[in-house]
Amino acid sequence: MMLSLLSLFLASGPVLRDDTQHWSPNTYPNPQINYTLCNTWPASTLCDPDHILTDHWRMIINKNIQEQIEKLRNSSDLLYNDNASGRCHRNATNGITIYVILANRIITTSNNSIDTDLINFGNGVADKYGLNSQSCKNFIVIVGVEEAKLAYVRTGYDLKLPNDLMKIIFKEYSELFNAKNYMEGLNKIITEIGERMNDLSLQVFFSKFSYLLSAIDLENRKYNVFY
């Protein structure tokens, strides 16, 4: 998991009202259960209860999330940690799920920094959605909170990813956020996450394929000894 200090939602976003909902993991809706509260569609993994996104960008981002999930679902060689469950290594799951969770405000505590509150919120949402109790924890949750001006990416513990992967991806599109094109930036980050993870999967596949060819070549050489 990692915390990005990029400003996802800048001054160009909607003005916060005093009566804006302060979300907790318990009160934040689940798009898989009640998509209408998330202002999204059936089977969506995008939740935007505070209308942070415009209708146009919400539709584009929702479609992009599903496209990236489908691409990764078709990847047979996802990277998993050695101690991941057998279901992960057998690819006996429905594949990686990507959630995008957006909120104007979350409940904070005076004893914690906003970073800690954001991490706790993201972890709590993952718990509420049942992601941390999956037999194969192969999920990604992107949390963006407007008031905090922060984004948090929570990855399932079974996924084996480079430590700096998310930091590199966020840094690549920092100019879009600095230019206040935060909706386009968020969409590009989702695309980049999907493509980078798919590239890692292909690297594993070709590594296995090269090993197989080497093994076949060794077998042929072994047999040639007897000719």
On whether residue 30 sits in a domain, the answer given is no
Q: What is the number of domains present in the chain?
A: 1
Better-predicted residue by pLDDT, 211 or 97: 97
Residue 28 domain-assigned (yes or no): no
H/E stretch holding 3: strand 2-4
Task: Output the pTM of the full model.
Answer: 0.81
Tens of pLDDT along 58-73? Answer: 999 999 999 999 988 8
Q: How far is CA 113 from the centre of its chain?
A: 23
% of the chain residues with pLDDT over 90? 37
CA 110 to chain centre: 28
Per the DSSP assignment, residues forming a β-bridge with 46 are 100
Q: Determine, yes or no, domain membership for 173.
A: yes
Note whether residue 13 is domain-resident.
no
Categorize the per-residue pLDDT at 38 as very low, low, confident or very high, splitting at 50, 70 and 90: very high
Q: Is residue 184 part of a domain?
A: yes
In a domain, 163, yes or no: yes
CATH classification at residue 131: 3.10.310.50
Residue 110 lies in a domain: yes
pLDDT for res 19:
53
Secondary structure (DSSP) of 65-90: HHHHHHHHHT-S---B-TTS-HHHHT
pLDDT tens track for 167-222: 778 777 777 666 567 888 889 889 988 888 887 754 443 343 333 333 444 444 44
Q: Which domain holds residue 51?
A: 35-214
Which CA distances in Å does 160 have to 62, 121, 127, 169? 25, 23, 20, 16
Q: Is residue 165 part of a domain?
A: yes
Q: What average pLDDT does range 8-26 have in this prediction? A: 61
Task: Express each pLDDT in 76-92 by its tens digit.
Answer: 567 788 888 888 888 77
